[in-house]
Chain A
Amino acid sequence: MMPAMTQKQLKKIPKANTEPLLVVQNLKKFFPIRSGFLIERTRGYVKAVDDITFTVEKNHTMGLVGESGCGKTTAGRTVIRLIDVTDGTVKVEGTDIAFLKERRLKEYRRKMQIVFQDPMSSLNPRMTVGEMLSEPLYFHGLARTKQQANQIVKDLLTSVGLKSHHMDRYPHQFSGGQRQRVAIARAVSVHPSLIVLDEPTSALDVSVQAQIINLLKKIQADLGAGFLFISHDLSLVRFISDHAGIMYLGKIVEQGNTDEIFEHPQHPYSQALLAAAPIPDPRKKRDRKNLLGGNVPSPIHRPSGCFFRTRCKYAMKVCEEVYPEYKEITPDHKVACHLYLK
């Protein structure tokens, strides 16, 4: 269903290689906390993303899940260079783009697209859908004339379940679900190989959410793109991702095959998070023993050693001293916890 590309356009896209689509290694993003009048001093850092490593394969979905403030959104934005990287490598199809200059980044801007959470604020209210969707086409040279652009936009709109006459409408004339379809069409329009989906359905009702999720799955099948799916909704991540990572205070505490993680969570935080999620079945009652007390500590003053130790019922002496390394439980399941490091 994707709009056909001309031979010339096809040449612009380099041949696929065998490297994984996206390899993120030891990625860090620190935000300085400055204070002082006239002479600003850096008092410390919010370590929003602290040394995370993961891979996204073509045609696969990697889910990042965690509570608010765990750094999942920052991770998504840093990976596609919407915000600058503090340290680490981000390899897209084999090229490290973490510190690439803006001019050389342009090609990768096309390859990496994002769909934001709130479709009302991510769409320009003063542009029609047609204008909004053709702008990236002109920018990346996928369309030269208005006629070409219009044709591609019409095909795009049908491929996301809208009508071609919708191109003359403004965002406010659409419902939330339709707006998110427009945002998805915009991301897809430049044939990206990686799409970051930052809570794409959390502003939508459940009946519409299912439509959008199914649309995303269809687009992945058509485009063969890799998805980085960011959400706080555990059941949604379970449904859509092939691999998942559970984040807590800037770190991925556990990652691996989605079913493995949801059926046999190993990290005490993962266990508590999954136990806290309500299940739509009145016969299943929550396991109260695993309920977490307290709140997430401030990301400015994280506890020493393992950040989760202040709320962890298994906390040991060693947890205060060092942050645990990853331990492979199975080849496709890693957990960072001292319980498994003996």
Chain B
Amino acid sequence: MTRPILIVENLKTFFDTPEGLVKAVDDVSFDLCQNEVLGIVGETGSGKSVTVRSINGLIHKPGKIAGGKILFETKEFPERQKNGYLDLTTLRGDEYTKIRGKQISIIFQDPMTSLNSMYTIADQMIETIRFHQKVDEKQALEIAVAMLAKVGISNPKERIFAYPFELSGGQRQRVIIAICISCNPDILIADEPTTALDVTVQAQILELMKDLQTEFQSGVIFITHDLAVISEMADKVMVMYGGMAMEYAPVMTVYEEPRHPYTHALLNCIPRIDKKQARLDPIPGQPPMMLNAPALCPFLPRCPNKVERCAKEMPVPVEIDENHFLRCFNPVSRSVIQNGAL
């Protein structure tokens, strides 16, 4: 078995708001190897973005990492390491800049707001490259142009002096990707990178990301609410709901043998482009209120499989098969899955 480059253990990120405590991420564990794509899928407020922001040290007040470890394999801060891993939760804000952008970069959802509209693409790329690498301005520009060519911007030598507003949404997202890979990071985090894009442009960006991932062999954490996108990109999938990882398994298992009632219901309620459906089976009720949530399974009020035990205690993640983790007292039985519409 290959050694993971990132191990997240029982991560808890809480927001202490005036209205009450929000457990945005509660007891989430996963790991990521080199050349592996982890997909995190969940609905609005399920904690998927906060999870990766915690990894990247982007949690600000009133939020804080309330527990758990984020172990990252790095050469920085050797004196603080254990077994070659550095616990990122121990880093101070300014120390994080040695990791963030260089070894872990993040692509955000909206390419218009993540680029500064007052500076040219060249300014923004050179700034990042010179911050992390010992190169002069001319070399940095060369690297930047090469990166733009790599992400499929035509005529990069001229386009690099464009301002963000002169580019289309798809091109802007390509520029962001170029900035993110310019320091050859070990981990690339993509937080809904194609949600703001049209479907044909989305297809271009997804294919580009697959190509780059094969080339750079980096680890990728891909976040989306779109089950179709994740099925295409990911090697393994973590399904989040109400701040918790409900099911965590290889991609084939999640789509063909989803044992958690939430995953199962979610796959049954999406319309499919590739087949005719007579009806959709919606999940009744509303997504959970995260404010002062009870210490019970967050899916309980909407769950068709609930048992008495669910109202008393919180289930813990159990490995029911190899690499198939589940947080549920009463998983969907195998016979139901085989007879279902899936």
* Chain A residues with a Cβ under 8 A of chain B: 67-68, 175, 177-178, 205-211, 213-214, 232-236, 238-240, 259, 262, 272-286, 288, 291-293, 295-296
Q: Which residues of A contact B43 (CB under 8 A)?
A: 205-207
Apart from A207-B302, A234-B199, A238-B272, what 6 extra A-B contacts exist at CB < 8 Å? A206-B43, A208-B287, A273-B199, A277-B203, A279-B231, A288-B207
In the complex, A47 Cα to B276 Cα: how many Å?
A: 34
Contact yes or no, B232 A278, CB < 8 A:
yes
Partner of B226, one of A234, A272, A278, A283: A278
In the complex, A11 Cα to B240 Cα: how many Å?
A: 54
Contact yes or no, A281 B274, CB < 8 A:
yes
Known contacts A175-B286, A286-B232; is-contact A206 B269 (Cβ 8 Å): yes
In the complex, A178 Cα to B281 Cα: how many Å?
A: 18
- Nearest first, the 4 A-B pairs at minimum CB distance are A210-B282, A276-B203, A278-B228, A210-B269
In the complex, A222 Cα to B161 Cα: how many Å?
A: 58
* Chain B residues with a Cβ under 8 A of chain A: 43-44, 168, 170-171, 198-204, 206-207, 225-229, 231-232, 251-252, 255, 265-267, 269-274, 276-277, 279-284, 286-287, 302
CB distance from B318 to the nearest CB of A (A): 24
Known contacts A205-B225, A278-B232, A279-B272; is-contact A210 B200 (Cβ 8 Å): no
16 intermolecular pairs with C-beta atoms under 8 Å apart: A205-B44, A206-B225, A208-B282, A209-B269, A214-B280, A233-B271, A235-B272, A238-B271, A276-B203, A277-B203, A278-B203, A280-B228, A280-B267, A281-B274, A291-B207, A293-B204
Most chain B CB within 10 A, of A208, A277, A278, A292, is at A278
In the complex, A292 Cα to B280 Cα: how many Å?
A: 31
Contact yes or no, B282 A235, CB < 8 A:
no
Q: Which residues of A contact B280 (CB under 8 A)?
A: 210, 213-214, 239
Known contacts A207-B283, A210-B281, A292-B203; is-contact A279 B274 (Cβ 8 Å): yes
User: Total contacts A to B, CB within 8 angstroms?
Assistant: 132
Known contacts A207-B265, A279-B273, A292-B203; is-contact A214 B228 (Cβ 8 Å): no
Partner of A67, one of B200, B267, B271, B272: B200
Partner of A239, one of B206, B271, B284: B271
In the complex, A177 Cα to B267 Cα: how many Å?
A: 19
CB distance from A244 to the nearest CB of B (A): 12
Known contacts A205-B43, A205-B44, A262-B273; is-contact A281 B231 (Cβ 8 Å): yes
In the complex, A302 Cα to B207 Cα: how many Å?
A: 27
Most chain B CB within 10 A, of A178, A205, A259, A262, is at A205
Q: Which residues of B contact A278 (CB under 8 A)?
A: 202-203, 206, 226, 228-229, 231-232
Contact yes or no, A286 B207, CB < 8 A:
yes
CB distance from A260 to the nearest CB of B (A): 11
Of chain A, the residue at the smallest CB distance from B229 is: A278
In the complex, A272 Cα to B207 Cα: how many Å?
A: 14
In the complex, A31 Cα to B225 Cα: how many Å?
A: 35
In the complex, A291 Cα to B280 Cα: how many Å?
A: 29
CB distance from A105 to the nearest CB of B (A): 34
Contact yes or no, A274 B273, CB < 8 A:
yes
In the complex, A238 Cα to B279 Cα: how many Å?
A: 12
In the complex, A208 Cα to B280 Cα: how many Å?
A: 11
Of chain B, the residue at the smallest CB distance from A288 is: B207
In the complex, A275 Cα to B204 Cα: how many Å?
A: 11
Of chain A, the residue at the smallest CB distance from B302 is: A207
Q: Which residues of A contact B204 (CB under 8 A)?
A: 291-293
In the complex, A259 Cα to B255 Cα: how many Å?
A: 25
In the complex, A103 Cα to B276 Cα: how many Å?
A: 44
Of chain B, the residue at the smallest CB distance from A284 is: B274
